[in-house]
Structure 1
Amino acid sequence: MPEWLDVIVRSLLFFVVLFLTTKILGKKQISELTFFEYVSGITIGSIAGEVIMGLEKNIFVGILGIVMFGLITFLVDLLAIKSKSFHDIIEGKSRVFIKDGKVLEENLKKERYSIDELNALLRKKNVFKVADVEFAVLEPKGDLNVLLKKENQPLTPKDLQMKVPQEKEPQTVIMDGCILDEALAVANKTRKWLDIELSKLGVNLNNVFIGQVDSYGELTVDIYDDQIKVPSPQQRPLLLAMLKKCQADLELFSLGTDSQEAKDMYIKNAKKLSEALERLTPYLKG
């Protein structure tokens, strides 16, 4: 067999072997490598490279080496899940760097981190003052997780006792000018509805790069021609404005009638509409 053909055959074979090994080890092998997995990955790649280029003549010895390292890595991960102490040995423990706004210098030294490196990690979390930090811990993967002091944490709607709508996953119903019927069905919409919404926006289906339906049932689109401005959906703001007008009209009618019965009716319904508006406003705003 010619040398170039031998390299092609070896490459294809080891591509399959490495692919299967990676699938068995799982996605963690790609996204969150521990030190052990990092060393194992380098070794497996080195073995594959040597066999592919013919430095190791016996191809089955190379496959055996990869299978063994893959099996060892798999067993180590399995034991780490079963045993906390074994997990700490292989992956390491978390280390507290800051507590109550104070840097724990001894823990920095144990992990061989300088104050400049700590500051760099804090800046990645948009934290520029150590005194603002309640708690900061270095994870085994090398990430620094930071909890700010209560007074330095950003306000949330819950802090302000504001009602906010629940968001659901948007459904992509148009992609590259093609309608995705499955996503349209999940959003409880039809092609006829989609045609109407596109006509409201003044957009042709063939010009739509991506179209999505949000949890409120509104369609937003991105078109190929970035020079054309597509108007934002106005159904919710218009409905909110209409309800507010109705509530104001009821109050106005109560002032303009001489009938006490009619006045009481207008005031009663204006109050009901006001209560409904209070609940609906978070959902109907922009």
Structure 2
Amino acid sequence: MQEWLLIGARSILFAGVLFVITKLIGKKQISELSFFEYVSGITIGSIAGEIIMGLDNHWASGILSIMIFGLVTLFADILSLKSKSFRDFFEGKGTIFIKDGKILENNLKKERYSIDDLSSLLRQKNVFKAADVEFAVLEPRGDISIMLKKENQPLTPKDLQLNLPQEKEPQTVIMDGNILNDPLAGSGKNKKWLKAEIEKLGHTQENIFLGQIDSFGDLTVDLYDDSIKVPAPQQRPLLLAMIKKCAADLEIFSLQTDSKSAQKMYERNTEKLNRIIQKLAPYLK
């Protein structure tokens, strides 16, 4: 067999072997790696490269070595799930770098981090002053987790006691001009509704690159032609405006009538509508 055909056959074989080993180990192998997983991944790749290029023609030995390294990594991951002590030894523990706003220099030296390294990690978290940090820990996989001091934390709607609607992830119902049936059904809509919404926007299904339905049932689209401006959905703002107009009309009626009973009725219903508007406003803006 010619050399290039032999290398091609080996490449296909070991691509399949590596795929099986990666699926066996799981997604953790392709995320942030622990030291052992890093070494194991490099070794497996090196073994595959050696065999593909035909050194000593030991195919079976190469596959066996890859299987051993893959199974050892898998076994270590399973054992780390069962035992905290093994997990601490295998993956390491987090190291506190900042506590109560104070940098712990000894811990920096222990992990061989300079103050420049710490500053770089903080900047990656959009923190530019160490004095703003209440607590920071270096995670076993090399990332840093921080908690800002209370006065430096951003305000949230909960802090302001705002009542906001709960939102769910948008459902992608059109991709590359094709309707995706499962997400469409998951959003509680059907094709008839979708086509009607597309007509309202003045576009065709084939011209839509991406179409999504949000948690409020509004359709937003991105077109192939970027020069065309797509109007934002107006159903909810229009509904809010209509309810406000009804409340304003009732208030006007109460001022125009001479009947005391009718006036009280208009005022009572105006108050009801205003309470409804107050509750619905976060959902309809």
Q: Could you say whether these structures have the same fold, taking a TM-score greater than 0.5 normalized by the shorter chain as the test?
A: yes
Checking the alignment, whether the CA contact within 8 Å between 1:172 and 1:183 is kept in structure 2 is yes
Q: CA deviation at 1:161?
A: 0.6
Match of 1:212 in 2: 212
Deviations 1:134-170 (A, max 9, x none): 1111000011111011111111111111111111121
The equivalent of 2:68 in structure 1 is 68
1:91-133 per-residue CA deviation (whole Å, 9 max, x = no partner) reads 1110111111110111111111111111111111111111111
- Equivalent runs, 1:82-93 vs 2, <5 Å: 82-93=82-93
Match of 1:143 in 2: 143
Q: Contact 1:50/1:56 (CA < 8 Å) preserved in 2? A: no
State the distance in 1 between where 2:48 and 2:280 align: 61
Superposed counterparts of 1:149-164, under 5 Å: 149-164=149-164
- The letter for the 1-side match of 2:198 is L
| Residue in structure 2 matched with residue 17 of structure 1 by the alignment | 17
- Percent identity over the alignment? 67
What aligned pairs does 1:108-123 form with structure 2 within 5 A after superposition?
A: 108-123=108-123
The code of the aligned residue for 2:109 comes to: K
> In 1, Cα distance between the equivalents of 2:140 and 2:6?
42
CA distance in 2, matches of 1:204, 1:105: 62
1:201 lines up with 2:206 in the alignment: no
- SS of the equivalent of 1:112 reads coil
- Residue type matched to 1:175 in 2? M
Write the letter of the residue equivalent to 2:27.
K
Q: Does 2:118 match 1:107? A: no
State the AA in 2 paired with 1:223: L
Matched to 2:242, the amino acid is M
Q: Provide the rounded CA distance (Å) in 1 between the counterparts of 2:242 and 2:56.
A: 78
| CA deviation map 1:242-270 (0-9, x unaligned) | 11111121122112211111111111111
Q: Counterparts of 1:168-187 in structure 2 under 5 Å? A: 168-187=168-187
DSSP-derived class of the 1:188 partner? coil
Task: State the 1:2 CA deviation.
Answer: 2.3
Partners of 1:2 and 1:102 in 2: how far apart? Answer: 66
Residues 73-82 or 152-161, more deviating:
73-82
Match of 1:48 in 2: 48
Aligned to 2:188: 188
Q: Kindly state the Cα deviation for residue 42 of structure 1 after the two structures are TM-superposed.
A: 0.7
Output the CA distance in 2 between the equivalents of 1:11 and 1:183: 38
Deviation at 1:195?
2.0
Structure 1 stretches of 5 or more lacking a match?
Answer: none
Residues of 2 paired with 1:97 and 1:143: CA distance?
12
Give the paired residue count.
285
Corresponding residue number in structure 2 for 1:262: 262
Matches within 5 A, 1:232-251: 232-251=232-251
Look up the match of 1:222. Answer: 222
Aligned with 1:209: secondary structure? Answer: strand
Offset at residue 187 of structure 1 (A): 1.6
The letter for the 2-side match of 1:73 is T
Any gaps of 5 or more consecutive residues in structure 2? none
Paired residue secondary structure (1:109): helix
Q: State the distance in 2 between where 1:149 and 1:245 align.
A: 46
Give the Å deviation of 1:190: 2.1
Cα RMSD (Å) of the superposition? 1.1
Which amino acid in the other structure matches residue 187 of structure 1? Answer: S
Whether the 8 Å CA contact 1:56–1:62 is kept in 2: the answer is no
1:284 partnered with 2:275: no
Alpha-carbon separation, structure 2, partners of 1:79 and 1:172: 39
Q: Determine the C-alpha separation between the residues in 2 that align with 1:11 and 1:18.
A: 10
TM-score (norm 2): 0.97
